[in-house]
Structures are given as C-alpha cells and as structure tokens.
Amino acid sequence: MNVPSENSCPMTRTQVLDAYFMEHRARLLDIAAFLDRLDRAAGEPEDDIRETSFRRALEILTDGRTGRAGRILTMLSDQTTELPVSAAGMKGAIGAPVSLTGDPS
Amino acid sequence: MKYIDPHIHMVSRTTDDYQRMAQAGCIAVTEPAFWAGFDRSSVQGFYDYFRQLTEYEPRRAAQFGIQHFTWLCINPKEADDPGFAREVVSLIPEFLDCPGVLGIGEIGLNKNTRNELTILEEQIRLAEEHGQMVLVHTPHLEDKLKGTRIIMDALAASRIDPGRILIDHVEEHTVAEVLDRGFWAGMTLYPDTKVTPQRAVDIIEMYGTERIWMNSAGDWGCSDPLAVPKARLEMRRRGHAVEIIDRVTLNNPLTFLGQSERFSVDVESA
Ligand SMILES: [Zn+2]
C-alpha cells in the first residue's frame, strides 16, 4: 500500500524555506496578479469553468490539510464515467473538467 | 554520473541535444512511437516512422555514445479511426525482432473514447501474443485520472504481468493507484504540464523509490531533454543520497528494461 509518508523530505522546514521561499513568493505574486488581471478584464466573473475551478483550487491551498497537489489535480479531473464513441469534433484538454462535482476535497 | 532517459522522442530533437545529453551523463534512451504533432495521412507513413525508429535513430544516437532502444505502436491520438489503426498495427510484428525493440508503446488513451479503447485492447493483445513488454501513455490534464483507470482495467484483463508494464505520465493523483496495482510508474518532467523536477522529487519522497522512474519525454513541443539530470540536481540539493538518485534515474530503468532480452547496457564501459 502506498501512503505518503511524513518526514520524508530530508530537509528541515527552515532549509525548505531557505531553498524555495523566494521562488514560490514570486509564483504567489504571479497568481495574485493573474487574479487582478481577471478583475480588470471585460466579461462576467466566474462564467468559465477554468476560473471557477481555479478559485476552488485556492480554497484547497488554504484548508490546512496536506495532499494539496493531488487533491487539486483530482478536482481538476473529468469525473464522468461514460465513454464517447469517437474524439471527432472534440476539443483538446483544457486543464479543467466540463463541470465540477462534490466538495473541494 | 550516468543516467538513462527512458522516454524521449529523439526523432524530434537535434544532434546538439544528443551532445548535451551525453555530456550530462546520458548513456541510453528509449523512444516510444507517438504522435508527430499532425495526423499521418497513410499507413505507409507509419512504416517509414518504424524504420526511422529501428534503423536510423539508433545510428544517430551511437555517434554520441548513447544507446537507443524503441517501442512500437499506433499512438492513441491517431487510433480513433479503428480501420486505419488496425492496418498500422498489422505492420508491427515484422519489426518486433529488430535489435533495440523493447515492446509495444506508448499505447493508451487520449480523449478516453470507445474507439481508442478498442485499439488499446487490440494492442494489449498483440503484446500478449508476442510476449512483449508495454509502455503506456496516460491522457493529458483533466482526462488523465479517468483514462488511467480505464487503461489499468484493460491491462488487468490481460495475462501480461503488471511488472512488465510501465504506466507513464503519472502525477500526484494517479501514482498511488498505479503502484498499488503492481505496475511500474513513470514521471514525465515538463515545464508546464505533467510534473516539474521539484514535484517529481516530492513524489519520490512520498511514495518511495520502488518501481518508479522519471523521463523528459522530450519531443517537438515545449520540453527539456536535460530534465532528468536537472531532477538529479534537485535531489542532491535536498540532500538525497547518491544511491537513491542513481536508483530512480539509472538502476530502476535498468531493472525494468532489462526484462527484455533485447535490452543490454554495459554501465561500466558506457
Ligand atoms: Zn511520449
């Protein structure tokens, strides 16, 4: 059985911050500026599944539980079970499902 | 340091890439057959591609001291027309005894359609009948979780030992199921989609080093043929032992690929 193990990163918390804080501070600001850019753009808010799912992902980031990357990927996944016959006329993957289901876990 | 990039599309890369990979310690690559970025217009186009993979590309790699192995199939993106796909699949047996051919791959699903699944099942049967190993492509982005599960069910219905199947492009939401079901797992290091070197190392820290490898899947799109050595550096930066780093980037590929009698790499003299 494969379960994520605690204390498996060989670095201390301080070492992780020393190594990665600046890089992820920059990415955090990229996300903030991206949301500001959406505010400044024309069109209705949250009428696009990509935006809805992005905001749902932000909730996962701050819910205090671990496994965030896996939970965000699952939330961004197609949860349907039926198989269409052919891909003819279908668009390529966009990074978010056609609709969201369930709670953000 | 020596490493193997077990999934890279060298027909799309330049000799400069071969040179830089050799300088970074690459001693061998395996190249699955895949989509060219556009649909081929004829079955003959695939025949020529299989010749390129089995005859020409190994010679190009050898100029840089890199051993080249390959996997053959029709990729899922071009498998949505079953009649056409079957004609391509019928070409494969004559290539299976070529030196350097390791098995069937990268087969799988793209948009999770019935047509794609039919051809996937037929290629699994081909692998079964010819005793071949299998390299699996899992779908992109939102289609990955559903597709990975359908693919694993199709593989489980065959008699192929899951230990001879590698399921590629796993991410945090699919890796556990793949390993739990006894398959090998591959992580693809891409700049934007799939996983970054940092996340790949996180996955190793969380799920261990057994039955897992990483690859660049370098191709004609945004990708990095030096992604594997970059992930090695990331592991060193975090203080992982050289033995662990070698396990996921050299010894695990040697173990999995070594199940094919056509795979042989002399690491010492490479
Ligand atoms: Zn590939």
Q: Which residues of B touch A94 (CB under 8 A)?
A: 141-142
Please judge whether B141 and A2 are an interchain contact, meaning their C-beta atoms are less than 8 angstroms apart.
no
Please judge whether B207 and A76 are an interchain contact, meaning their C-beta atoms are less than 8 angstroms apart.
no
pTM of the entire predicted model: 0.96
Residue A3 has pLDDT above 70, yes or no: no
**A73 and A51, same structural domain?**
yes
Residue A71 to chain B, least CA–CA distance (Å): 7
Mutate one of A1, A2, A6 to test the B interface: name it (highest B CB count within 10 A): A2
Residue A101 belongs to a domain: no
Residue A23 belongs to a domain: yes
> Are B219 and B9 within 8 A, CB to CB?
yes
Please judge whether B173 and A86 are an interchain contact, meaning their C-beta atoms are less than 8 angstroms apart.
no
Q: For residue B33, how far is its CA from the centre of ligand 1 (angstroms)?
A: 7
Residue A88 belongs to a domain: no
Instruction: Using 50 as the pLDDT threshold, list the residues of chain B that sit under it.
Output: none
**Residue A46: band (very low, low, confident or very high) from pLDDT cuts 50, 70, 90:** low
Residue A103 pLDDT: 59
User: What is the residue type of B114?
Assistant: R
The tally of CA atoms less than 13 A away on the side-chain side of residue B183 is 27
**A57 and A37, same structural domain?**
no
Q: For residue A62, how far is its CA from the centre of ligand 1 (angstroms)?
A: 34
Q: What phi and psi values does residue B240 have, to the nearest 5 degrees?
A: -70, 145
Q: Six-digit token pair at B244? A: 């662990």
The tally of CA atoms less than 13 A away on the side-chain side of residue A23 is 6
Please judge whether A70 and B172 are an interchain contact, meaning their C-beta atoms are less than 8 angstroms apart.
yes
**A39 and A15, same structural domain?**
yes
Residue A1 has pLDDT above 50, yes or no: no
Partner B contacted by A2 (CB < 8 A)? yes
Residue ranges covered by each domain of chain B: 3-257
Residue A64 belongs to a domain: yes
Q: Which residues of A touch B145 (CB under 8 A)?
A: 73-74, 77-78
ipTM of this predicted structure: 0.95
Q: What phi and psi values does residue A47 have, to the nearest 5 degrees?
A: -100, 10
Domain extent at residue A52: 47-77
Please judge whether B172 and A77 are an interchain contact, meaning their C-beta atoms are less than 8 angstroms apart.
no
pLDDT tens-digit readout, B59-95: 999 999 999 999 999 999 999 999 999 999 999 999 9
**Total count of domains within chain A:** 2
Q: Give residue B24's Cα distance to chain centre.
A: 20
**A69 and A51, same structural domain?**
yes
Residue A7 pLDDT: 67
**A53 and A37, same structural domain?**
no
User: Cβ-count burial of B161 within 10 angstroms (0-12 exposed, 13-18 middle, 19+ buried)?
Assistant: exposed
**A54 and A71, same structural domain?**
yes
Percent residues over pLDDT 90 in chain A: 74
Q: Which residues of A touch B84 (CB under 8 A)?
A: none
Which residue of chain A is at minimal alpha-carbon distance from B145? A77
**Residue A98: band (very low, low, confident or very high) from pLDDT cuts 50, 70, 90:** confident
CATH 2.60.120.10 fits B3-257, yes or no: no
